[in-house]
Amino acid sequence: MTTLIAPFPANRPRRLRRTPELRALVRENVLSPADFIWPVFVQSGTDCATQIPSMPGVERLSVDRVVRAAHEAHALGIPAICLFPYTSMDDRTEDCAMAWDKDNLTNIAIRAIKDAVPDIAVMTDIALDPYNINGHDGFVEGDVIVNDRTVEALVKMALAQAEAGADILGPSDMMDGRIGALRTALEAEGHQDVTILSYAAKFASAFYGPFRDAVGASGALKGDKNTYQIDPANRETALRAVARDIGEGADMVMVKPGLPYLDVCREVRDRFEVPTYAYQVSGEYAMIQAASQNGWVDHDRVMMESLMCFKRAGCHGILTYFAPQAARILNG
């Protein structure tokens, strides 16, 4: 693209920044509550909530409270909610069988939300970590996270979630071949309209720390996830992973974490022209909360700026723990 720019003083860019009205006219990106997917943590029990110390302002919610949150999200214009179960050590086994139990916490919550708030889309997480005794996203044999046996289990997990009524499946496990296997199974079992939002470019990141506290996995995880999540140094690997997942049948793709990886977001959007999402993860949320609680930055302004940056980087939407707060500001 060639842009003709007159030399100064014919060109004075500040002319268009002079008033709020002029700035509004030339604003290139807009943020709306419809851009958000709100991740929520589900716990067992009734009418109860538990604070998550490393994510100030976020609570784990019992299923009835998650239904209330879904009502709230819907009223705010947020189109989707994403469920993460908090599991106790008793739910975690070597065979991860709870992951595909039709009455596990996630599946109970899906049914409850679809019953009460049919007009909100429900997204899920597909990975074995909430139900795995050692905290990994796949089965562990010796010191190896095995791929193909894990994919078979992920298929069972996905079918149970689709059966419960999930609209969007979010495979976050980073096993090879899982998108194709999920898509084939969904077609075969009559779930051809269930969408897959693949965690395609998911990096092995320390920014997930507070999330692992939130779901009770911090103590459980043995070792790290470096043999399946992408090296933060690798851009081309991430683009290949996105291409592969689209080729296997993903409807939408995600880059995760968000802000430190905006270059990848932009490149995915430009190259593939598929619906592209970023996950502003727990560590990103925690940093903004911590700094603003100390009075070091202005909470609302930093929150809104961080979300707008995803739009500027080309994202169609953002998974963010700020979703309801930001939607309230956007709705005035």
Closest CB 322 distance from ligand PBG, rounded Å: 12
Of the pair 257, 314, the CB lying nearest ligand PBG is at 257
Of the pair 144, 188, the CB lying nearest ligand PBG is at 144
Of the pair 47, 95, the CB lying nearest ligand PBG is at 95
- Residue 228 structure tokens: 């399946």
Question: What is the CB neighbour count within 10 angstroms for residue 212?
Answer: 17
Of the pair 64, 143, the CB lying nearest ligand PBG is at 143
Residue 230 carries which DSSP code? B
Q: With beta carbons less than 8 A apart as the criterion, state whether 225 and 275 touch.
A: no
256 catalytically annotated: yes
Nearest to 313 by CA among 275, 272, 261: 261
202 catalytically annotated: yes
Q: Which amino acid, residue 10?
A: A
- Alpha helix locations (H) across the chain? 20-25, 63-76, 105-116, 148-164, 178-188, 209-214, 235-248, 262-272, 282-293, 299-312, 323-330
Cis peptide, bond prior to residue 257, ω within 30 of zero: yes
- Give the integer Cα–Cα distance in Å for 320 and 257: 11
Closest CB 290 distance from ligand PBG, rounded Å: 15
The phi and psi torsions of 28 (rounded to 5 degrees) equal: -90, -25
- Give the integer Cα–Cα distance in Å for 252 and 126: 15
Closest CB 25 distance from ligand PBG, rounded Å: 36
Of the pair 84, 162, the CB lying nearest ligand PBG is at 84
Query: Which of 114, 225, 256, 311 is labelled catalytic?
Result: 256
Query: Which of 114, 202, 225, 311 is labelled catalytic?
Result: 202
The phi and psi torsions of 118 (rounded to 5 degrees) equal: -60, -20
Residue 6 carries which DSSP code? P
Of the pair 137, 245, the CB lying nearest ligand PBG is at 137
Closest CB 259 distance from ligand PBG, rounded Å: 12
**Closest residue to bound ligand PBG by CB:** 211
- Give the integer Cα–Cα distance in Å for 203 and 229: 5
Interface residues with ligand PBG (CB under 6 A) are 125, 127, 129, 137, 172, 208, 211-212, 225, 281-282
Of the pair 170, 314, the CB lying nearest ligand PBG is at 170
Neighbouring residues of 259: CB distance < 8 A, sequence distance ≥ 6: 280, 284, 306, 309, 310
Closest CB 226 distance from ligand PBG, rounded Å: 11
- Give the integer Cα–Cα distance in Å for 180 and 250: 8
| Residues recognised as catalytic | 202, 256
